[in-house]
Amino acid sequence: MPATSTPRLRRDRLTFTLYGSFVVWGWLLYSFNPSVPLLADDLGITHAQAGLHGTAMALGGILAAFVSPWLVRGRGRRAALVTSCLLIVVSVLAMLLAVDLAWSLTSMLVLALGGNVAIAAAQPALVVHHGPAASAAVTEANGVGAAVGLVGPLAVGASVALGWGWRPAVAVTALLALTCAILYSRLPVGGAMTRAHATGPESGEAVALVGDLPASAVEAAVPRPRSRIPAWCFLAALVAGVALEFSTTYWATDLVREQTGAGAGIAAATTAGLVLGMATIRFIVGPLSLRVSPAMLLAGSFLVSVLGWAVLWTATTPATAIVGLVVAGLGYGAQYPLSVSLLLATAPGSGDRAQGRATFAGSVAVGVAPFALGALADAFGAHQAFLVVPVIALLGASVAAAGGRLQRREVAVLVADTPPVVDRVR
């Protein structure tokens, strides 16, 4: 393959199986998050207390940031994936049986640990497996998760309308996780499915291709990035994107109820508009990122989310709110996969560690953003609380654009200072 050719995404058994982690996590997020206001009603707690589920999810993610690299190295990637899925099954069942806030929060912490390990183990595996097409693979994987999750809010709305409550919809997560555990257990060990105690390229850390040569073969010939600033910019963009997504999925139901007078079932179902936008753009932006600068796409996605917020914030009917959520989803959907792909690209040979940092930072955003917005909603109402959304989006656009500029400048310097790769490898 010539070095100048456009990378192609090749989908095989391993690729589709790794997508399973995103299916499980997508269903959980988009069925449980819109149910948070309904859970608050069931347990008789305030919005701020219900927002603590985001904090519990964050703590589970922070634990996963440390547990996942250790588990992958010590037990191998397949064992890490199987273990994480089984942990999801057990914790979902515990969540469904929760009778008070403490029980519910503990279940969410364990659930988030399992879910984040599943993603943190699968995502670098996709990067290793697909090399220069990694941005497309990671984006498509997140798109598959969002597409499956699209049914989540609809399932919640239908379940509530039938008088069953939100729990049956969330229970599907356990069935999906059990299925994935079985599929992962049947994968052969080797390659991206790293063995226990593997080191170097076999460890499952990010591997890209330079022309026909693996990056590991030319690592000594290619100078490392001179600055960590682009990585910090993309990490900040990731935090902004996660904060926007989780704040909106947690509290859009409440905003729609407050502004349009819609019932609980209809309001919860409108969140499907957000997931529809997210799923749609991920299938578009994945292939597009192989032709257009991913950093430019990332900065633009934040601006699109501001437009969606404006429509949602001014909506007075459920139909208009759905339109706003769809447009916002077109922005939100590109933000996490592009930012994490860009972040992993700044860390050749250190993919699992970079993924750990991303998991840690994203988990902090999950913990702070929904709780903060819930507290603001208690104090000022959901409508006024949602004014923080465009502020976060504009900050995200700024750091994404800055990271892209710095990255292009650094690549230009590296290319100018580095002799041809093939000559140096010889």
Write down the pLDDT at residue 215.
33
Helix and strand counts by DSSP (H, E) for the chain: 17, 2
Share of the chain above pLDDT 90, in %: 27
The DSSP symbol for 200 reads: G
Write down the pLDDT at residue 86.
96
Q: How confident is the model at residue 397 (pLDDT cuts 50, 70, 90)?
A: very high
Listed ranges 157-171, 278-292, 352-366; the one with the highest mean pLDDT = 157-171
- Residue 190's DSSP bridge partners are 193
Contact 287, 176 (CB under 8 A): no
The DSSP symbol for 213 reads: E
Kindly tell me if the per-residue pLDDT of 309 is higher than 90: yes
CB contact set of 309 (below 8 Å; sequence gap of 6+)? 324, 328, 386, 389, 390, 393
- For residue 77, give both structure tokens: 């990637």
Contact 70, 204 (CB under 8 A): no
Report the 10 Å Cβ neighbour count for 313: 18
Share of the chain above pLDDT 70, in %: 85
Write down the pLDDT at residue 242.
92
Write down the pLDDT at residue 250.
77
Write down the pLDDT at residue 173.
93
Residue 4 lies in a domain: no
- Residue 209's DSSP bridge partners are 214
Residue 424 lies in a domain: no
- For residue 287, give both structure tokens: 């292939």
Kindly tell me if the per-residue pLDDT of 414 is higher than 60: no
Q: Which 3 state secondary structure label does DSSP give 216?
A: helix
Check: pTM over 0.75? Answer yes or no: no
Q: How confident is the model at residue 412 (pLDDT cuts 50, 70, 90)?
A: low
Report the CATH number at residue 245: 1.20.1250.20
Residue 279 lies in a domain: yes
Write down the pLDDT at residue 226.
54
Residue 32 lies in a domain: yes
Contact 78, 59 (CB under 8 A): no
Say how far apart CA 324 and CA 315 lie, in whole Å. 8
Residue 322 lies in a domain: yes
* Poorest-pLDDT segment among 310-314, 348-352, 365-369: 348-352
Contact 366, 119 (CB under 8 A): no
Write down the pLDDT at residue 240.
95
- At 235-290, the pLDDT tens digits run 999 999 999 988 888 788 888 888 887 777 777 778 778 888 988 888 888 778 77
Residue 244 lies in a domain: yes
Range of 141's domain? 13-417
Residue 68 lies in a domain: yes
Write down the pLDDT at residue 400.
93
Query: Quick one: average pLDDT of 323-327?
Result: 93
Query: Quick one: average pLDDT of 408-415?
Result: 62
For the chain, how many structural domains are there in total?
1
Q: Which residue has the higher pLDDT, 214 or 317?
A: 317
- At 97-131, the pLDDT tens digits run 888 889 999 999 999 999 999 998 888 888 777 77
The DSSP symbol for 246 reads: H
Q: Which residue has the higher pLDDT, 219 or 42?
A: 42
Write down the pLDDT at residue 214.
33
Query: Quick one: average pLDDT of 361-369?
Result: 83
Query: Quick one: average pLDDT of 410-418?
Result: 56
Residue 92 lies in a domain: yes
Contact 45, 101 (CB under 8 A): yes
Q: How confident is the model at residue 198 (pLDDT cuts 50, 70, 90)?
A: low
Write down the pLDDT at residue 54.
77
Candidates 369, 291, 371; CA nearest to 105 is: 371
Kindly tell me if the per-residue pLDDT of 212 is higher than 70: no
Mean pLDDT value across the chain: 80
